[in-house]
Structure 1
Amino acid sequence: MAQTVAAVYTGQGLAEPLKKVFDELLPGVRLVNLIDDSLIYDVMQAGGVTPQVSGRLLGYYRSAAELGADVILNTCSSVGEAADRARAFVSVPIVKIDEQMAREAVGGYDRIGVIATLPTTLTPTMALLRAQAGAAGRTVALTEGLAKGAYDALVGGRPEEHDRRIAETAAELASSVDAIVLAQGSMARMEASLREITGKPVLSSPRLGVMAVKRLLESL
């Protein structure tokens, strides 16, 4: 029987790009998507993860376990802290999509710029990087890069403006950092162009997250 991965989403945007990564790296694995795009809305409205959001996510993780998932992939960086807490209450291992990205960033670079289009993603990504640096015994300098207005441009149907604002933010960070981390998986499609613009390594989460899932599945 094929192994099963359940991917839990708080929004719609990453599901199709992530499926392409799964098709490439894990073609024999059954992928099940659990999507509730009201979650990211509630996180944005509250300015962070609420107990209600955590409870609903725990319900999705438990549903994933009940449907036979061998691994659960939490795809949203904004709710990483909820995934951390849920691990104690779910029998199936939970992989956070951005965890491997954070490990590689703090393991390879001393000065890291972090780009996000939402404060609710920027803050937990910075915290994740600090936690991973501490676990590795590393000291890193983190620089915030909030691409203001980019998210509103995207949801307003102006993707070119969204990309331009992110590119501008990356260019502003470039001279003061050794590498750039993209806090949202949906920004992964800009990885190559931002590398060209900045001349710096750019790390994004989807591929590294799926590779972490692959390694875990191989160990089961």
Structure 2
Amino acid sequence: MPTLGLIHNSPMLAPVFNEIAARVMPDVRILHFVDESTIKNTIAAGRLEKATMRQVIRLVGSTFDAGCDAALVTCSSIGAAVDIAAQLYDQPVLRVDRAMAEKAVATGRRIGVVATLSTTLNPTADLVRRVAAEQGKQIEIVEHLCEGAFEAVMAGDGATHDRIVGEGLTEGMKGVDAIVLAQASMARVVASLPEGAVAAPVYSSPELGMERARDVLAGRVK
């Protein structure tokens, strides 16, 4: 049975990915590796620091030492470190948001990126730009930071988080061809909005990222 190592920055993400894994890869063994320092230190510094990058690379190595066949990092804020780790190991090292960025670039030219943290907004927008460049496509990115949403959810006020994100999706994303959610936690807001409230297709990373990991483990894609 193939084994997938999931690297999280919060223990709250494990059940979310277990649910997806049960649906899209029931024949894959899942191991979770959680280190909250990667996101907390990045937020505190306002950027991804070298010490955190080294920690991410160590975490990736830990998954392979534990017997994993591939590693999937579920946080977009530390994506640059994941790209470096991918060059250092022979086994597949995957970013959860790569498949989402590819889907958005394939959908249209004007792409909206919505986030609740600037440390996640910038890496996600950069990834979309890079994917577009690789494919030789001209795109325009519309960035929207949902001010106050992250602080609300950290304080246990999920309703305020969902309201701010909902406003960002409906008001801040008018006229885009596709919307990318920089944080997986925002996906539930899309599901709660009335039908037709958001005109453009909305892409979230967990489902697409896990489908990509399944295909990589099955040898269908690299």
Q: C-alpha deviations, 1:43-93, integer Å up to 9, x for none? A: 001111111101111111111111111110010000000000111222321
Contact 2:5 2:33 in 1 (8 A): yes
Other-structure match for 2:11: 12
Q: TM-score, normalised by structure 1?
A: 0.96
Other-structure match for 1:201: 201
Unpaired segments ≥5 residues, structure 1:
none
Query: Do structure 1's residue 28 and structure 2's residue 36 form an aligned pair?
Result: no
Return the offset for 1:197: 2.0
Other-structure match for 1:180: 179
Other-structure match for 1:94: 93
- In structure 1, how many angstroms separate the alpha carbons of the residues matched to 2:159 and 2:68? 37
Return the offset for 1:191: 3.1
Task: Name the aligned partner's letter for residue 38 of structure 1.
Answer: S
Return the offset for 1:216: 0.5
- In structure 2, how many angstroms separate the alpha carbons of the residues matched to 1:149 and 1:218? 41
Q: TM-score, normalised by structure 2?
A: 0.95
- In structure 2, how many angstroms separate the alpha carbons of the residues matched to 1:63 and 1:7? 11
Q: C-alpha deviations, 1:123-156, integer Å up to 9, x for none? A: 0000000000001111111011100000000000
Query: Do structure 1's residue 150 and structure 2's residue 159 form an aligned pair?
Result: no
Return the offset for 1:201: 0.8
Contact 2:20 2:207 in 1 (8 A): yes
Contact 1:188 1:206 in 2 (8 A): no
Q: What percentage of aligned pairs have identical amino acids?
A: 36
Once the two structures are superposed, the pairs formed by residues 1-220 of structure 1 within 5 Å of their partners are: 2-194=1-193, 196-219=196-219
Contact 1:11 1:38 in 2 (8 A): no
- The SS at the match of 1:73 is strand
Contact 1:133 1:139 in 2 (8 A): yes
Contact 2:86 2:94 in 1 (8 A): no
Q: How many residues align?
A: 219
Return the offset for 1:17: 0.9
RMSD of aligned alpha carbons: 1.3
Contact 1:147 1:169 in 2 (8 A): yes
Contact 1:153 1:159 in 2 (8 A): yes
Unpaired segments ≥5 residues, structure 2:
none
Task: Name the aligned partner's letter for residue 187 of structure 1.
Answer: M
